[in-house]
Amino acid sequence: MSVSPRRLLAGASALATLAVLAVSACSAGGSGGNANGTAKTLTVNTSFVLKTLDPGRVYEATGLTAVHALYDTLLTFKGSDVSKPVPALAESYQASPDATTFTFKLRQGVTFADGSPLTADDVVFSLNRLKNIKASPAVTVSGLTVTKTDDSTVVVA
């Protein structure tokens, strides 16, 4: 998958903004601020805690927000409509009638930062890595089998 300068900049901007917010003084209410701006107490919001940006290990809301800005996924959602996934790295996907097997056809022309093409092997590796790390996010793929049928098709069952 290619990380475009625009996407990298967006991710860096998001992280920078979140970092600034994390250490900003709270001036609303309490003893943390006053009307003339001469507050003597700095309140730090500790809800912005990043343990990791490894997509196979991140499980807290703040980390998920940052990881979403940094990495592409097979599917995503359009706007606030989370009722229907739409293709991202996958150009299309199909579910079996009983919704137990999903086939993803990878979008052509996707490359990593070093220029190497995204293949089904990369997707299989990533999903199996997530399962084998056995960190909290592994619950999302535990019990699933991930295989490739060709260089651009991945089957998850």
Q: Any idea what DSSP says for residue 29?
A: S
State the pLDDT at residue 25.
41
State the pLDDT at residue 153.
98
Length of the chain: 157
Specify whether the CB–CB gap between 37 and 67 falls below 8 A: no
For the record, the structure tokens of 148 come out as 């490739």
State the pLDDT at residue 17.
40
Please name the residues in contact with 152: beta carbons below 8 A apart, sequence gap of 6 or more. Answer: 105, 106, 108, 119, 120
Confidence (pTM) = 0.68
What does the radius of gyration of the chain's CA atoms come to, in whole angstroms? 20
State the pLDDT at residue 65.
87
- How many C-beta atoms lie closer than 10 Å to residue 105's C-beta? 17
Give me the sign of the Cα torsion angle 48, 132, 92, 113.
positive
Pick out the chain residues at pLDDT < 70: 1-37, 46
State the pLDDT at residue 14.
43
